[in-house]
Amino acid sequence: MSWIVELALRHRAVTLLGAAVVALAGVIAWQRLPVDAFPDASNNQVMVLTEAPGLAPLDVEQQVTFPMEMELSGLPDVTQVRSLSKPGLSQVVVIFEDDADLYQARDMVFERLMRAAEELPEGVEPEMGPIATGLGEVYQYTLRSETHDATELRTLQDWVIAPQLRALSGVNEVNSFGGFVRQVHVVVRPADLRGYGLTIQDVAEALEASNANAGGGYLEQGWTQASVRSVGLATSPADLEQVVLVARDGTPVTVRDVADVGYGPAPRLGAVTRDGEGEAVAGMVIMLRGANAREVVERVKATMPRVQMALPEGVTIEPFYDRTDLVKACISTVATALLLGGALVILVLFAVLRDVRAAALVALSLPLTALATFLLMGWQGITANLMSLGGLAICIGMVADASIVVVENAVRHVRRRDEGTPVSAAVLAGVREVARPITFSVAIVVIVMVPLLTLTGVEGKMFRPLAWTMMLAMAASLAPMMSAARVYGPVT
């Protein structure tokens, strides 16, 4: 590796320009690198959710879950199919190989769902879950107001806030929790139904038939056309009360005669509270699988002021979870390691060698190695997370140690050179003396990391980023270490 030093000493300007280009490319790579708090260890899965209102868990298992499992079994690259049956809800999870294309897998599952839907009870329709993972929850908030109740807050969350956030790039969905979903309830009076000789089915069919708009073509008059439409869509409980159920001797019997119509909350399980202050309405932003968590959260936070302006006076959005806090902590770990490492290197080298240039050069090799590593990580598709950045932080000490060895030996040769011997020749001799041991020490560290690349499953997804980052960092550090003495001038 001494030829690198010789080229650096002969072409000092080109070497410095190359270092500047690598640093600039590393900064750009870091800005584009997906950053998250933890590596995503989730398996490659497609979730199918099916609502079956009114069915008990046993009925859900027999009528919904089992037919779905039979249809989804046998797909290519499927490793496991598991399910869960709850009151009124079926969940079937199809797990694929880690290297399977997720979008192609969803297409295959969708094709099978069309066949499975024919065997399900009437009105039961399966839906695929979002393209997200267990680590997709990047931003959470609650709504607070002294003048609006839980029903009004939930309505604002579902119809004002969620649609605006869902339209952002990288956001897969926005889930709503707590509060009460407003519905129009038609509560029949059994005695009145019997008195008119009607049934609940008669009321349901009349409401379904009357609560709709219909088109009637158009009328031409001269050069103009007028669209004809029948308006029957209900806009309030009063409209539903006027729906005619049957006519007896010319007298209509309406919904008002047999039922009470009004607003009410939808049935629910569980509740949401915050700080022990009673019912609360919360929203959760789910990130698209593979998106950059930092960028997604920044878009959400940039959109929040506009969302706040669309809310009524007295309603505020209060975030309580922000993934960028964890991301910033990860970034701070590497930045702190670089700063402390550079400061300690400068102090130690200056105290031992009394050479400011040598100390500054070793300190400069640390951020240059980190930037070169970011460039290689982007090339290999490795995301920045706690494990990968932790591996880089570990390598900082090794890089500093190797750089110190190279610089210290070069300085020693410069101070002990014979009269008339060029400084650059002494530097080259000093680097050649330690080039092979340094190269082998780096190679040993890289080889030690190779077994981690063979891990599979959750262990592989957790530790492979650490191994890859350490290997790339050590490889990227060779050139800065071997050319660490280039400031002493050209070869003569």
DSSP string, 89-137: EEEEEEEE-TTS-HHHHHHHHHHHHHHHGGGSPTT--EEEPPS--TT-E
Could you read off the pLDDT of 154-189 as tens digits, one per residue? Answer: 999 999 999 999 999 999 999 999 999 999 999 999
Quick one: CA torsion of 69, 73, 76, 82, rounded to 10 degrees?
A: 60
Give the separation between CA 434 and CA 436, rounded to whole angstroms: 6
Could you read off the pLDDT of 285-304 as tens digits, one per residue? Answer: 999 888 888 889 999 999 99
Whether 52 and 64 have beta carbons less than 8 Å apart is answered as: yes
Please tell me which residue, 308 or 33, carries the higher pLDDT value. 308
Could you read off the pLDDT of 378-425 as tens digits, one per residue? Answer: 888 888 877 888 788 778 777 777 777 888 788 788 888 877 777 777
Give the separation between CA 384 and CA 377, rounded to whole angstroms: 8
Beta bridge partners of 218: 227
Strands (E), 118-267: 126-128, 137-145, 171-178, 182-188, 214-221, 224-230, 244-248, 251-254, 259-265
Please tell me which residue, 340 or 121, carries the higher pLDDT value. 121
Helix H, strand E, coil C: the string for 9-76 is HHCHHHHHHHHHHHHHHHHHHHHHCCECCCCCCCCEEEEEEEECCCCCHHHHHHHHHHHHHHHHCCCC
Whether 126 and 269 have beta carbons less than 8 Å apart is answered as: no
Give the long-range contacts of residues 433-440, CB within 8 A, separation 24 or more. Answer: 433/409, 434/405, 434/406, 434/409, 435/1, 435/2, 435/5, 435/482, 436/1, 437/405, 438/1, 438/402, 438/405, 438/406, 438/481, 438/482, 439/1, 439/478
Quote the tokens at residue 34. Answer: 């997906």
pLDDT score of 15 more than 50: yes
pLDDT-derived band at 344 (thresholds 50, 70, 90) equals confident
Quote the tokens at residue 169. Answer: 């790039």
Report the share of the chain in percent with pLDDT over 90.
28
What residue has token string 């270092």? 19
Expressed in angstroms, the distance from the first to the final Cα of the chain is 20
pLDDT score of 353 more than 80: no
Which of 19-33, 142-156, 430-444 tops mean pLDDT? 142-156
Residue 292, pLDDT score: 82
In the DSSP assignment, the letter for residue 239 is H
Give the long-range contacts of residues 420-425, CB within 8 A, separation 24 or more. Answer: 422/491, 422/492, 423/488, 423/489, 424/9, 424/488, 424/489, 424/490, 424/491, 424/492, 425/491, 425/492
pLDDT score of 464 more than 90: no
What is the number of alpha carbons within 13 Å of residue 444 lying toward its C-beta?
Answer: 7
Please name each of the domains of the chain with its CATH number. Answer: 2-39+326-488 (1.20.1640.10), 43-132 (3.30.70.1430), 183-213+229-265 (3.30.2090.10)
User: pTM of the predicted model, to two decimals?
Assistant: 0.74
Burial of 18 (0-12, 13-18, 19+ CB in 10 A): middle
CA of residue 64 relative to chain centroid, distance: 31
Helix H, strand E, coil C: the string for 368-380 is HHHHHHHHHHHHH
What mean pLDDT comes out for the span 20-27? 87
> In Å, how far are 109, 287, 329 from 323, measured between CA atoms?
31, 11, 10
pLDDT-derived band at 109 (thresholds 50, 70, 90) equals very high
58-62, 183-187, 450-454: which has the minimum mean pLDDT?
A: 450-454
CA of residue 27 relative to chain centroid, distance: 22
Residue 38, pLDDT score: 74
